[in-house]
């Protein structure tokens, strides 16, 4: 009996151990961001997601453990010959994410190496179809072309290529020096052009200023001429009016007005002689009595004017009769 109990105890213990081992082998825990493929007798059956999963022990086994997070690959430096036969060195990075764990595991061997070689090959292809100037200036275009080509090529592998970035493009040293000289020449040319444009603009502005000055000066001369003409017109009107008044006075028998006019002309003529820079020797082909009589006529006019003014101021006072030096008092 004790022997029987001992065998039974051993059997129970072994059975419990088998159950525990069976459970341990049938329960699989998958971390977040990972997926496991399940193979039954070497054939893919399903994919296990993150968390606890059950499989058939001793029949099913875990095939591949696939990282489903976005990953990055460094593309090593390589020499590229451009369309215009310039040799440059380029490197970059590739960002990709596995979308289908089964395809990534069974459609391609060594996924990362395949993506890396595919990217390097297409870098040479894309950059080789472009000139050096385009390669150096249109990096975004290179990245876009690479992304389109590599993403289409990796689609059967269950992979999504999210980004491809060219990190560095390094031309040879002699080419860099030539580019530096070219850039310096271009900048000097641009500086000369800008300086010439500045001189041209300055000359244009100066010419515009001189033009405006000439216009204003012409406007001033025009205004002055207009004012001079107006003054001469008024002077002529005054002269005509004075002549008309003189004619009226002579017509009425007042000889003194004529004498005043002639005497005024005499005085203006002598004033002109006095202001002249020539010799002041004057020959007078006239009698002194004529000049005296002219002056006498002026004095008569002045007296008549004063007489008229006194009559207007005191009308009650009778005016005394005027007696000249040639008249005798009665």
pLDDT (tens place) for every residue of the chain, 330 residues total: 454 557 778 888 888 888 888 888 888 899 999 999 999 988 999 999 999 898 888 888 899 999 999 999 999 999 999 998 888 999 999 999 999 999 999 999 999 999 999 999 999 999 999 998 898 889 999 999 999 999 999 999 999 999 999 999 988 888 778 878 888 898 889 899 998 988 888 889 888 888 888 888 888 888 888 888 888 888 888 778 777 776 776 666 665 666 666 666 666 666 665 666 655 555 554 544 455 555 555 556 555 555 554 554 444 444 444 444 434 333
Say if 176 falls within a structural domain.
yes
Same-domain check for residues 76 and 150 = yes
Same domain, 55 and 95: no
175 CB-near residues (< 8 Å, 6+ apart): 86, 132
**Does 150 share its domain with 218?**
no
Same domain? For 82 and 165 the reply is yes
Backbone angles phi, psi at 36, to 5 degrees: -110, 140
- Looking at the structure, do residues 55 and 81 belong to the same domain, yes or no? no
**How far apart are the C-alpha atoms of 136 and 69, rounded to whole Å?**
33
Shared domain for 80 and 147, answered yes or no, is: yes
Q: Is-contact 124 150, C-beta < 8 A?
A: no
The neighbouring-strand residues paired with 159 are 98
Which of 121, 152, 171 is the last residue in one of the domains? 171
Let me know if residue 46 belongs to a domain: yes
Residue 81 sits in a domain whose CATH number is: 3.30.479.30
Are residue 185 and residue 206 in the same domain, yes or no?
yes
144 and 201, same domain (yes or no): no
Q: Beta strand pairing status for 159-170 and 87-98?
A: antiparallel
162 lies in the same domain as 187: no
User: Among all chains, which residue has been given the structure tokens 């390589």?
Assistant: 78
Query: 101: how many CB neighbours lie within 10 A of its CB?
Result: 23
3-state secondary structure 277-298: CCCCCCCCCCCHHHHHHHHHHH
Crossing angle for the helix pair 173-251 and 255-275, to the nearest 10 degrees: 140
49 neighbors 38 (Cβ within 8 angstroms): no
Point out the domain boundary residue: 18, 42, 66. 66
User: Can you tell me which residue has the tokens 């005798």?
Assistant: 328
Assess whether 186 and 263 both reside in one domain: no
In a domain, 105, yes or no: yes
The answer to whether 123 and 78 are in contact (CB under 8 A) is yes
Domain residues for the domain of 16 are 10-66
Do 184 and 150 lie in one domain? The reply is no
Same-domain pairing of 264 and 216: no
**Residue 56 belongs to a domain:** yes
Nearest to 62 by CA among 76, 81, 42: 42
Whether residue 48 lies inside any domain: the answer is yes
Residue 136 lies in a domain: yes
**Has residue 117 been placed in a domain?**
yes
Q: Among the three residues 145, 171, 197, which one is the final residue of a domain in this structure?
A: 171
2 is a domain residue? no
Number of domains in the chain: 4
């Amino acid at each position: 009996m004790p022997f029987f109990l001992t065998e039974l105890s051993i059997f129970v213990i072994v059975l419990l151990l088998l159950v525990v081992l069976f459970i341990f082998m049938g329960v699989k825990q998958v971390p977040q961001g990972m997926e496991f493929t399940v193979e039954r007798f070497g054939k893919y059956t399903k994919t296990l997601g993150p968390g606890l999963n059950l499989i058939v022990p001793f029949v099913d086994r875990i095939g591949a453990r696939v990282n489903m997070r976005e990953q990055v690959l460094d593309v090593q430096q390589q020499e590229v010959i451009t369309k215009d036969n310039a040799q440059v060195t380029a490197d970059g990075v590739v960002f990709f994410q596995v979308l289908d764990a089964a395809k990534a595991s069974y459609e391609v061997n060594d996924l990362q190496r395949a993506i890396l070689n595919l990217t390097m090959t297409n870098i040479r292809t894309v950059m080789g179809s472009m000139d050096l100037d385009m390669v150096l200036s249109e990096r975004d275009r290179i990245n876009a072309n690479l992304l389109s080509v590599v993403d289409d090529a990796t689609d059967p592998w269950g992979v999504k290529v999210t980004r491809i970035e060219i990190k560095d493009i390094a031309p040879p040293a002699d080419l860099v020096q030539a580019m530096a000289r070219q850039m310096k020449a271009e900048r000097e040319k641009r500086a000369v052009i800008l300086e010439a444009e500045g001189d041209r603009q300055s000359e244009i502005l100066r010419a515009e200023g001189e033009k405006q000055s000439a216009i204003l000066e012409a406007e001033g001369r025009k205004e002055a001429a207009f004012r001079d003409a107006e003054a001469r017109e008024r002077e002529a009107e005054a002269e005509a009016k004075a002549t008309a008044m003189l004619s009226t006075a002579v017509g009425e028998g007042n000889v003194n007005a004529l004498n005043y006019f002639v005497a005024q002309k005499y005085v203006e003529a002598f004033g002109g002689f006095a202001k002249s820079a020539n010799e002041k020797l004057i020959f007078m082909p006239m009698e002194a009595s004529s000049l005296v009589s002219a002056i006498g006529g002026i004095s008569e006019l002045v007296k008549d004017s004063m007489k008229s003014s006194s009559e207007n101021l005191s009308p009650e006072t009778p005016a005394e009769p005027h007696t000249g030096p040639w008249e005798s008092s009665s």
